Structure 1
């Protein structure tokens, strides 16, 4: 797999940009063609249940668009050897970058909440290439070759990668003034906590809230959206702390705050997904473990 991806990446980097884009769209359509109908209907139903639309045909169109986008996304990652800071500056516009600059000047560590919406790999790369000390927390891939490849390309874009099991490393990085990037929009299984998303009970990862509550670190919410071909907008929302500076909280109070912060982050995620529903990974069975959890309690 590693050799295949390296060869494919080499071929992609030798194609003109327009041809790379066409190749990405082709790959996206190819992926959609082979998605089982059962999975397509799952995505369609989740879109309907979330109130994104009441039209089944439109819901299926959104599910399709959210899958096809993976083709161009993969091509952009394979194009990393061509991306310098100047190239990225032409491909990406920041909205709310002043929040990042203020945080960088403070020298304080922070927790970054992101999601599988838009090209999240490019989001991490753009932040790191612009000098923000981001530590990407990744899930180790089952295929060792694929894991080696994606981490090599992340490192190429000045990202440091740690796995979800490296909790001690994350704590150390925060104390050193670095930023821990966490994706928190997928089903965590029984490890999550129950808060609302699209008005539905949803088991949600509480990692960002827990990490931030260790020393009341600021939490930064970042999203990426492709507003036109070859160009993306990175939106940085105003950071917030779990509680006001100077206050002391007991363990019981911190538990309550973790729920409140996780709900606040879900609210931000929901607002973004309602604005750009085609950007999310609707094929993922987001409420699988939520349903099992609720059935177990009945």
Structure 2
């Protein structure tokens, strides 16, 4: 079925929403760095998330995964999620000021040596991560060390906002490709030439395998594992965890995921991200409708292969 085009009212709403966001970003960028992050974090937590329905979705997702969690704790986490998203947004728009700070971050983890060896050997690398902390902080830290890292992104529904947000992703270094036939072709060419690319794996994709994520069935795209197997690429998880001060990050590169079946490789990635989410739930993007369409109502069981 062809997608329905947006009505005049929806298009006008997108335009107005984009103008409001541009106004907030423009005002914030005039402030000193710390105050800038605090302002946009506050606006996302107190205004945008409640009005846009993001807070309600986060609370519903938390109740789905942690049904015994008290409501007060779910509200605390949902507020922290919105704060992190707001801070990440304005960080990504802060250009050289943000990347300059991230350039000073040390790289930690078993994957650092593996990444250096892959670059020396000309082996393609797929860096995989989730919507946790601010993954652009990790990409900026790597680019500052001379790594040319591209990315594949899902265009946002609001085309007005998408147009300028793509420019922020390009500013971190490395080409970015939109999902779709043309973008995927460019993405693959970059990979086959021994390039390094970032993929996020923690969003719902229709018709993909149902795997375990945080103890619940969730459709998980296997594209990163499929590409790693097809082109002999290193599949390397990486994360940037926000510090208690709200501005600093810890960048960690985990050990590469061994090649196997796509489902086993993706389950390993889900498990790694789930461990981080359990430890710091306020840093994961609970706003996404992660568990839809997977037979994932309370009490439903995972298929045997995903247990």
Q: Quick check: TM above 0.5?
A: yes
Counterpart mapping for 1:212-227 below 5 A: 212-227=228-243
Q: Under a length normalisation based on structure 1, what TM-score does the superposition of the two structures give? A: 0.82
Q: Contact 1:13–1:82 at 8 Å: present in 2 too?
A: no
Deviation at 1:11, TM superposition (A): 4.3
Q: Contact 1:47–1:53 at 8 Å: present in 2 too?
A: no
How many residues are aligned here? 278
Q: What CA RMSD, in Å, does the superposition of the two structures yield over aligned residues?
A: 2.8
Tell me, what secondary structure is at the counterpart of 2:293?
Answer: helix
Which one of the candidate residues 141, 144, 147 is aligned to 1:126? 141
CA distance, structure 2, for counterparts of residue 57 and residue 84 of structure 1: 36
Q: Under a length normalisation based on structure 2, what TM-score does the superposition of the two structures give? A: 0.80
1:141 corresponds to 2:156: yes
Counterpart mapping for 1:140-289 below 5 A: 140-165=155-180, 166-190=183-207, 192-229=208-245, 230-243=247-260, 257-289=261-293
CA distance, structure 1, for counterparts of residue 164 and residue 21 of structure 2: 7
Could you report, residue by residue, the CA deviation over 1:144-195 in whole angstroms, capped at 9, with x for unpaired residues?
33222122222222131011223322222112111121111011122x1111
Q: Contact 1:188–1:204 at 8 Å: present in 2 too?
A: yes
CA distance, structure 2, for counterparts of residue 292 and residue 202 of structure 1: 7
Quote the residue 2:5 is aligned against. none
CA distance, structure 1, for counterparts of residue 159 and residue 240 of structure 2: 28
Which one of the candidate residues 84, 89, 102 is aligned to 1:88? 102
CA distance, structure 1, for counterparts of residue 63 and residue 42 of structure 2: 27
1:71 corresponds to 2:86: yes
CA distance, structure 1, for counterparts of residue 19 and residue 133 of structure 2: 27
CA distance, structure 1, for counterparts of residue 190 and residue 295 of structure 2: 36
Could you report, residue by residue, the CA deviation over 1:109-152 in whole angstroms, capped at 9, with x for unpaired residues?
01111111111333333333332221110112333332221222
CA distance, structure 2, for counterparts of residue 125 and residue 13 of structure 1: 19
CA distance, structure 2, for counterparts of residue 12 and residue 106 of structure 1: 43
Q: Structure 1: give runs of 5+ residues left out of the alignment.
A: 244-256
Q: Structure 2: give runs of 5+ residues left out of the alignment.
A: 1-14
Q: Contact 1:110–1:179 at 8 Å: present in 2 too?
A: yes
Tell me, what secondary structure is at the counterpart of 1:152?
Answer: helix
